[in-house]
A and B are shown apart, each in its own frame.
Chain A
Amino acid sequence: MYTWSFAPILQASDLFLLGAWITVVYTIGSIALGLVLGLAVCFARLSGNGPLNWFAQGFQELFRCTPLLVQLLWIYYALPLILGIDIPNWAAAMTTLSLYAAAFYAEVFRGGIVSIDKGQSEAGAAIGMSGWQVMRRIVLPQAIRRMMPAFINQSVTQFKNTSLVSVISVADLTYMATVVNGQTYRPLEAYTAVAILYFVILFPITKFADVVERRMRAGN
């Protein structure tokens, strides 16, 4: 019978906290960059400009139809050979996570915007509003409410996806578990501790997403 011993793990708690912090930084950073880029991609898709739409859609399909792990390895190991410059692991990690997030967020935004009844923008236009005023004052406020649950779910996924950066030695939470395992030879405790940490952070967020979704349904 295996005897659990969390004592060595607790001694390494500063490593876990540092890892958790790094994970949060990569999550928030890539969500923020992904938001901005995702919005740009979304508006490119909706612009009605042929080449722009085509380019944006190509970008989305590329990042949605290849595994994140492959993207990460490609940008870290393959891209530098093409560019002829070194890409540090943190930059490769942040870039890949942000591009990946942007591809998915763009689809969440686009779905929210096109789900708003055409009569809404026509009513705005009919009182003389410009296209941008209609978007900002009529369509977006309704679309944002509607896309909130999908947006939160995508962000939760994004948080978990950051664990992949450990394969290019970014010292995130998952990477720290491997480090602690190497020091203590206690894989069961090390990986259990890490799983618990992810869970403790994400569980309240998914509960919050449920509340948002229920309130949104009640509102409509």
Chain B
Amino acid sequence: MSVIAFAKNWNGKFKNSTFELVSYTKALANQLNTNMVVLSIGEVAEEELKLLGNYGADKVLTVSDPQLNTLTSRAYADIVAKAADSVGAEVIVLSDNNSGKAIAPRVSVKLKAGLVAAVQELPVSLEPFVVKKRVFSGKAFGHVQIKSDKKILTIAKNCFGLVKNPCDITIEEFAVDIDTNLFKVKIVEEEEQKDKVILSDADVVVSAGRGMRSPENWAPVEELAEVLGAATACSRPVSDEGWRGHEEHVGQTGKVIAPNLYIAAGISGAIQHVAGISRSKCIVAINTDPEAPIFSVADYGIVGDVMDVLPRLTEAFRNSKS
């Protein structure tokens, strides 16, 4: 028996969420009194793989075929399932991100292994195996029992944190036949903004709503984000109106994020908006209306006009840095 974590890389690099995944899986292995194996797919330099050892990984399997440098969910799922079988894994753990959402369900079908997505913490009990997850878009938590022998979890971002646990690491190539039939979707073009902070990874997010009144008024939002090294986000009507791109929309029907700090400027705090931000560690609200529902979910609030408060807040952050 063992547990296996799939450590996704982005252009050969891991993210903090990968290290959180390894930290979580190590703790789970300890809870189950077993060992952990980490699987990496695609080309990743040895130096980068060694970083996994800082969070408790002592054994890494890697499939470093360059064909696998971009995610092909079918081929990845095939490899994850084979690796899990080869190490006799009872539990397979992935991150709850785009790739985890694409791969985990396929592995579940392949191995007939019960899957619970976006788990919040270590299992509540091992016999029976029960995990806790967010349900009803954050309005409640559900305790879900996995009945199958093999189990798959995807873990929600920022649910566990990073746990340093330096280990001597061995890196092994995992030999597997790659079925080229599984590459039927072809990526013909790829665009990536390299200079922007990515919303789903950001520790700090500055978000703005209809209270900004017009798309021309976004400069104070962007300036504050810049000073904080934050990503920018928005409410749904703002992206529906085309004031900002869809990729910035947070909430029930947009992105669900869990930054350390979420600053909501001119956002009323409708229940569907809150569904996407309620896992933030700290929420700051700026709104002219003292009765706005956002204040009932915020930790700190300022009643005031965004056009007036945002520049002042930017200034205060700037001063505190120098």
Do A and B originate from a single complex? no
